[in-house]
Structure 1
């Protein structure tokens, strides 16, 4: 019996050796075949086919340069880019997208901005400080912005206004840094350092006794013509650490939302909506407010109108700042507009955030929110393209596949017999569009199809029936108040809305 066992083991060993020899020979034959085929194509096509195939296989991924990632504040940005197939760089050469925490158009950082290549994209616009600097709110004379004064420049105006409204409280803000507290006007200092004094909204709407703010993530994709979107399917809702009453001006945790705020998932009224039903932060907030009998549609509409007005108000100044840099299509930007509500459901714009926080160091559960925001920013700004590695592989066939001239033509009934390009009816006809206008329209077309969870804020939302009935002679949209560039893109969206209802909003 033992002899049979030894013989069987020996036969099994011989069979295994034989199979390995056969496998090795087959592999060698495969390599020889590949070599012969390669030499055949190299000889027939002078190396072009083989070289092209090798080049495609070895194609480099697009590169993002992430600048200012101290303490991991941009880690979620890096993660999203890596998920999209980008290589992350910390150097100044050979990059496709530049994402900076700081303003990149001053000092040493401005050098690569002056020499941008056509395909390179930057996550800030020159002149964006007109919107995000706290002092800029002093020039917004709207009832949705609390009265704001720059000290010491506006001290006389502040004291005069305060004399008319002696019961108002005031808060002091540093222009560039954090630090907010309620002050008495007799505490004001006339120093060379600028700071902000702003009217305090002392009747905030409270939930569970706490003051809260609403952060709306906003994306600027084009400055001229103006195109603005919000991340519509998700917002930030943050609650103060301490309950508002009994009020104590020395306890800033009662009225200032800090980095260690209370998130919505830790606030009892939202547990079922957010934790059990898995609604988004925005939808959980909307469901709760509706259950309390409030009209959230009006609230959101008011917020959208405020965002729209801020950009229209500062567009000209931002464009003037951009004249120092020779580019027009290389920028996109993410902002966060922060609002509070008073107990009469009136919305107040408190500030606009430059490089809004995407840091998950305080709340790990914010990871999904921040990655979702960054991903949608990159989608609507066309950085995350549907075409693989579009930064280095742009050609006419690819561009026409994505957005050809015929995809963006509107008002065919008017353009069939149009000879006066200066009229609104004709300005979007093919023969009347210059090359730059055609490029801008195609960008808007691609933004629409890449927008993901974004909603267009400017040009504003349209009603298709109104768009179908619109004519330049009965201008329900008041187009005359807009610049030529803004009017053209507005009219184009009207034309697209008439053809396709998805372009209405």
Structure 2
């Protein structure tokens, strides 16, 4: 029987994945146990788990944990992270390592704490501006004292204008009671709805008494106000944030996968930190729903950039080590946020979660967690967007599917690393398509890792022993071969010496007879005649053919279809009389048919 699925959302990237696997659609059926996988919206999950009598069957899986909102509601996420920081500090840990979100407060209940922090930040900014102004004035005095002439006057004038401008800005900020920028967000809304920036406490007071339009006042809905990251990393002068997909299959023990298929979302307008631009949402808010309304929006790429391209950009501009460190830090931010909620979220083995993490990078390459989405958008705006999200869903299904689900799935819909998977290895996969395991705190995984390490140690020892044995055998062979080689070389050199002495006596005798030395001719015979014209093999003749002359050789086929014989274009010439060489023939016919020496031309 096939796997049965339900889906509350009419999203092609979901439905196409289910159908491609050969699973059966039972969305229209009302029986509680008629489904194996339910891709539900948060309202359905609230209704399902709101009934304490609900009991899921062992084979059923659903895509949300009962109280997933502990991480995905902005106000609850902030509370849980702050509580976790205090817990770590009490236990003697380093709470500074949990500095993963900007300074954030929940309004209206944390208004007094926020007002105190706002004033403290403003005072620090004023001191910093005064220090910078004093340093600028000191530089101007040094230039005036050492410059002299027209050049010094010009430089001083330019510096004075800059100082005046900076001072005016400081006074304006101080008189307005502002200077630091904060961002306000509704706790439970998405797609950029209700977000605005402030730099004055009076703006919060106006909001608190309900002076905003009704569309931005949601009754009992709270707001979070966070310190605005005003030094974001820019690419092409534009602000961006990162959407990273995270799959959690268990909170106790924690088991987390991170996808490499996220993307960056860019603003339409180049970034500026000027106070006058705070209301320009096309400059400050990266939400696609907002950027789509801008006149500079590009529908072909949707103002998006794959994470892989962003990583290549960082490697080129900041170096591979910096890029590697950034993505490792992002993994750390994800794990710290999940551990902050680990003891609060109700763990249910029937549940899993696909989170959409929104992270912004500042110009020091520090990642900051902005928010976590329980139902990241599966709408697609471009072809590349569709392919990316289709694959994210496919990889998510491969992560959460039990082995029997994969066995009942059309193999053509599965990647090779999943298609032939051993069921015994299924729970311990560390890479599933784009999904990379970054945490598994289960005892089973720890035991599996220990066994794998033991196997690796045994394999390394076996390989080392085999290599040592091979090296010992090779050394023994080299020793024996070296002794034999020395004996062979000695015998060869002795033979060569005897041959050389005999050749010298032979040539001396020939010279004594006729005063001539015969021309060397390539002969094939092993026999020798009285004339010694053939090339002999053995102690009295040439053991090998002499080297070819520089001329191009001619290729001849040996008689009887034997091996071809190479001959030079013309014979070596003797400096002696040709007639003597010609008369030296007569002994060329032996067993090998040696040829008579030719006379020099």
TM-score range, shorter chain: 0.5 to 0.7
Deviations 1:11-63 (A, max 9, x none): xxxxxxxxxxxxxxxxxxxxxxxxxxxxxxxxxxxxxxxxxxxxxxxx4x321
Secondary structure in structure 2 of the residue aligned to 1:286 = helix
Q: Which residue is equivalent to 2:243?
A: 215
Consecutive unaligned residues of structure 1, counting only runs of 5 or more, are: 1-58, 275-280, 323-327, 391-400, 408-442, 460-485
Residues 289 and 389 of structure 1, relative CA distance in 2, 3 Å threshold: closer
Q: Which residue is equivalent to 2:392?
A: 373
Question: Are 1:226 and 1:458, in contact at CA under 8 Å, matched by a contact in 2?
Answer: yes
Question: Are 1:211 and 1:255, in contact at CA under 8 Å, matched by a contact in 2?
Answer: yes
Shift of the alpha carbon at 1:110?
Answer: 4.6
Q: Which residue is equivalent to 1:180?
A: 195
Q: Which residue is equivalent to 1:457?
A: 438
CA distance in 2, matches of 1:237, 1:289: 13
The answer on 1:79 being equivalent to 2:34 is no
Shift of the alpha carbon at 1:363?
Answer: 2.6
Secondary structure in structure 2 of the residue aligned to 1:165 = helix
Secondary structure in structure 2 of the residue aligned to 1:359 = coil
Residues 497 and 329 of structure 1, relative CA distance in 2, 3 Å threshold: same
Q: Which residue is equivalent to 2:287?
A: 258
Shift of the alpha carbon at 1:265?
Answer: 7.5
Question: Are 2:187 and 2:221, in contact at CA under 8 Å, matched by a contact in 1?
Answer: no
Question: Are 1:145 and 1:348, in contact at CA under 8 Å, matched by a contact in 2?
Answer: yes
Q: Which residue is equivalent to 1:444?
A: 427
Q: Which residue is equivalent to 2:45?
A: 105
Secondary structure in structure 2 of the residue aligned to 1:378 = helix
Shift of the alpha carbon at 1:220?
Answer: 0.4
CA distance in 2, matches of 1:388, 1:240: 44
Q: Which residue is equivalent to 2:356?
A: 336
Q: Please, which moves more after superposition, 130-139 or 339-348?
A: 130-139
> What is the aligned-residue RMSD (CA, Å)?
2.9
Residues 300 and 205 of structure 1, relative CA distance in 2, 3 Å threshold: same
Q: Which residue is equivalent to 1:136?
A: 76
Secondary structure in structure 2 of the residue aligned to 1:374 = helix
Consecutive unaligned residues of structure 2, counting only runs of 5 or more, are: 83-97, 123-178, 210-219, 292-296, 411-420, 457-601
**Higher RCO structure (Cα 8 Å, ≥6 apart):** 1
- In our comparison, the structure showing a higher alpha carbon Rg is 2
Q: Which residue is equivalent to 2:208?
A: 190
Deviations 1:87-129 (A, max 9, x none): 2232332111000122433236755992311101101111211
Shift of the alpha carbon at 1:337?
Answer: 0.9
TM-score of the superposed pair, with normalisation by structure 2 = 0.53
Shift of the alpha carbon at 1:181?
Answer: 1.0
Residues 113 and 264 of structure 1, relative CA distance in 2, 3 Å threshold: farther
Secondary structure in structure 1 of the residue aligned to 2:180 = coil
Question: Are 1:137 and 1:145, in contact at CA under 8 Å, matched by a contact in 2?
Answer: no
Question: Are 1:299 and 1:345, in contact at CA under 8 Å, matched by a contact in 2?
Answer: yes
CA distance in 2, matches of 1:267, 1:259: 8
Question: Are 1:338 and 1:351, in contact at CA under 8 Å, matched by a contact in 2?
Answer: yes
CA distance in 2, matches of 1:121, 1:101: 14
Residues 246 and 182 of structure 1, relative CA distance in 2, 3 Å threshold: closer
Secondary structure in structure 2 of the residue aligned to 1:386 = helix
Question: Are 1:123 and 1:332, in contact at CA under 8 Å, matched by a contact in 2?
Answer: yes
Q: Which residue is equivalent to 1:44?
A: none
Question: Are 1:80 and 1:374, in contact at CA under 8 Å, matched by a contact in 2?
Answer: yes
Shift of the alpha carbon at 1:403?
Answer: 3.9
Q: Which residue is equivalent to 2:66?
A: 126
Q: Which residue is equivalent to 2:107?
A: 151
Shift of the alpha carbon at 1:182?
Answer: 0.1
Deviations 1:67-94 (A, max 9, x none): 1x2xx4x221111111111122323321
The answer on 1:358 being equivalent to 2:358 is no
The answer on 1:66 being equivalent to 2:84 is no
Question: Are 1:144 and 1:348, in contact at CA under 8 Å, matched by a contact in 2?
Answer: yes
Residues 108 and 290 of structure 1, relative CA distance in 2, 3 Å threshold: closer
CA distance in 2, matches of 1:111, 1:65: 20
Residues 210 and 499 of structure 1, relative CA distance in 2, 3 Å threshold: farther
CA distance in 1, matches of 2:228, 2:111: 17
CA distance in 2, matches of 1:316, 1:491: 21
Q: Which residue is equivalent to 1:5?
A: none
Shift of the alpha carbon at 1:299?
Answer: 0.4
Shift of the alpha carbon at 1:263?
Answer: 7.8
Residues 263 and 499 of structure 1, relative CA distance in 2, 3 Å threshold: farther
Q: Out of 281, 286, 296, which is 2:311 matched to?
A: 286
Shift of the alpha carbon at 1:222?
Answer: 1.5
CA distance in 1, matches of 2:370, 2:299: 20
CA distance in 1, matches of 2:237, 2:266: 10
TM-score of the superposed pair, with normalisation by structure 1 = 0.63
Q: Out of 303, 319, 344, which is 1:317 matched to?
A: 344
Q: Out of 163, 177, 181, which is 1:169 matched to?
A: 181
CA distance in 2, matches of 1:341, 1:264: 25
Secondary structure in structure 2 of the residue aligned to 1:168 = strand
Residues 103 and 316 of structure 1, relative CA distance in 2, 3 Å threshold: farther
Shift of the alpha carbon at 1:330?
Answer: 1.1
